[in-house]
Every structure is written in structure tokens, then in C-alpha cells.
Structure 1
Amino acid sequence: MDEIDRRLLALLQKDGRRASADLAKVIGLSVSATNERVRKLLDSGAVRAIEAIVEPASVGFGVTAFVFVDLDYAFSEEKFVLAASSFKEVLELHHVTGSHSYMLKVRERTNADLNGFIVSSLKRLQGVRSTETLIALETVKETMVLPL
């Protein structure tokens, strides 16, 4: 990955819908060369996807929670990861250091929905010993943009 790729990544992070001609003009390459670089960034996995970022509250998802999960390691950690990853409510799943095993970022419409998900789905997974939930009162900053 060279400096041109880094500049291209920075531009795509700010606006993934930016026209190829505009990207090419800014980075100083032809449109075809720019498109080829974007394709290579996608194929290599450097760019996971180019997609719309939906404002959760505008579509009714008013609750953001971080759920810490403690596992009983007598059970399969891989099965937990596979099952937890499959829940549509789970936006992020992180293996963490400290006193907990995993941290999940969960979005739900209401606190009742969040409670239902935790009680009926998450806590029923084999190996889940306990959970601790923190509800975000306000999201001040949320980004996927890396400081390239």
C-alpha cells in the first residue's frame, strides 16, 4: 500500500459515494487507474465494504447498549462467538481483556426490547455465565474513520 492508496482510502472513508472522476482528479490518476486501485483495495480486504451508514434513531433504534459477557470456559467459546455474531441486534462483538470475556455493542428500539434480547437470546447461549449491561445515554462520537 502506497501513499496514493492511503489518500484514496481517506477520501473513501469520508464519502464512499464520491464519483470516480472526482477521486481521480484529487489523487492525480486516470479514472480507470483509480477504479483499479479501488477494486484492489476491496479485493485485498483493506476496504471491507462501501455502504450507507443509517442514523439509528431515524429508523426507530433509540437504545444503544454495551453488554459485557462472562463465559464459562468449560463450554465452547467458538460456539458462543458464532451464535452471538448471528444475532441481528449485535452490531459489534469484541474479545476483551479485563474481568469480562466479551463486549457486545447492541442496538434495540426500546429498553424492553433490549431486556427481551438479553434474557431470551443472549443469556440462553451455552457457556454464558453472566452479563453486565451499560446503556448509552447519548452518543457523542461514533465513527469508523481511521486516522490515515
Structure 2
Amino acid sequence: MDETDRKIIELLAEDSRRALADIGAVVGLAPSSVNERIRRLTASGAIRRFTVDTDPAALGLPMLVYLWLALREDADEAAFRRFAASHRRVLECHHVTGAWSYLVKLRVGAVTEIESVLAELKAGRFLGRSETVIVLSSAVAGPHVPAPGV
């Protein structure tokens, strides 16, 4: 991957519907060359998908919530991962180091939905303990393409 590929990815992260001619004008390539690079980046897995950036508040999901979770010692971890992957409110689920087992990112419409998710975790016999963090505002929010290097 070279700097041109990185710039193409950055431009697509800003707007995945951006015209190939527009991208080509920025990076100095013909639209057909940009298309070939995008095809190659997708085939290699560098670009995993094209998506839509929505306004959560407009969708009735204004609350961003993080759950720190420690699983029960007898929890079926594979079943927990399936639960998280299929839950309609879970945006991300990360296995982490430290005192917690997982960090789960949720989008909800109200505090009662947080309680519902916690109740589902308890009913599935996954939850040992948890800590809930409700986001008040976001100083920086994705999508991001990290700069290469240090």
C-alpha cells in the first residue's frame, strides 16, 4: 500500500459515494486507475465495506453508551460473543485486558434500554459485573483513517 492508496482510503472514509473522477483529480490518477486501486484494496481486505454514516438522534438513538463487562466465571464466552454480534443495540464489542473482560459500545434511545441490555446479559448468565458509562458529548467521532507512522 502506497501513499496514493492511503489517500484514496481517506477520501472514501469521508464520503464513500465520492465520484471516481473526483478522487482521481485529488490523487492524480484517471478514474479507471482509481477504480482498479479500490478493487485491489477491497480484494486485499484493506477496505472491508462501504457504509452509510447516519445521525443516531434522527434514528431515535441519541444515547451512546459504553459497558465495561466482566463475564461470570462459568459463562459460555462463545455464546456471549454470538449474543453481542447479533444484538440490535451493540455497535462494537471488544475483548480487553485489565479488570474487565469486554468493552461493549451501544446506541440506545433511553436509559431503560441500557437496563434491558443488562437484563438480557443477566438472563443469558453472562454478566458477572459491569460498569456503565454514558457519553455526554463527543470531542472527536469517527470515521477515521489513522495516519501512518508514529
Distance 1:106 1:113 in 2: 10
Matched residues, number: 147
- The root-mean-square deviation of aligned C-alpha atoms, in Å, is 1.5
2:48 counterpart SS class: coil
CA contact (8 A) 1:123 1:131 kept: no
For structure 2, list consecutive stretches of 5 or more residues without a partner in the other structure.
none
Is residue 69 of structure 1 aligned with residue 69 of structure 2? yes
Is residue 109 of structure 1 aligned with residue 112 of structure 2? no
1:16 counterpart SS class: coil
1:22 counterpart SS class: helix
Write the deviation string for residues 103-146 of structure 1: whole angstroms up to 9, x where unpaired: 10011111112212221x22222332122211112223211212
Is residue 52 of structure 1 aligned with residue 46 of structure 2? no
1:58 counterpart SS class: coil
Distance 1:73 1:48 in 2: 34
| Bigger shift: residues 97-106 or 38-47 | 38-47
| Bigger shift: residues 131-140 or 63-72 | 131-140
Report the AA paired with residue 28 of structure 1: G
- TM-score, normalised to structure 1, is 0.90
- TM-score, normalised to structure 2, is 0.89
For structure 1, list consecutive stretches of 5 or more residues without a partner in the other structure.
none
Equivalences for residues 5-44 of structure 1 within 5 A: 5-44=5-44
CA shift, 1:93, in A, is 0.4
CA contact (8 A) 1:65 1:107 kept: yes
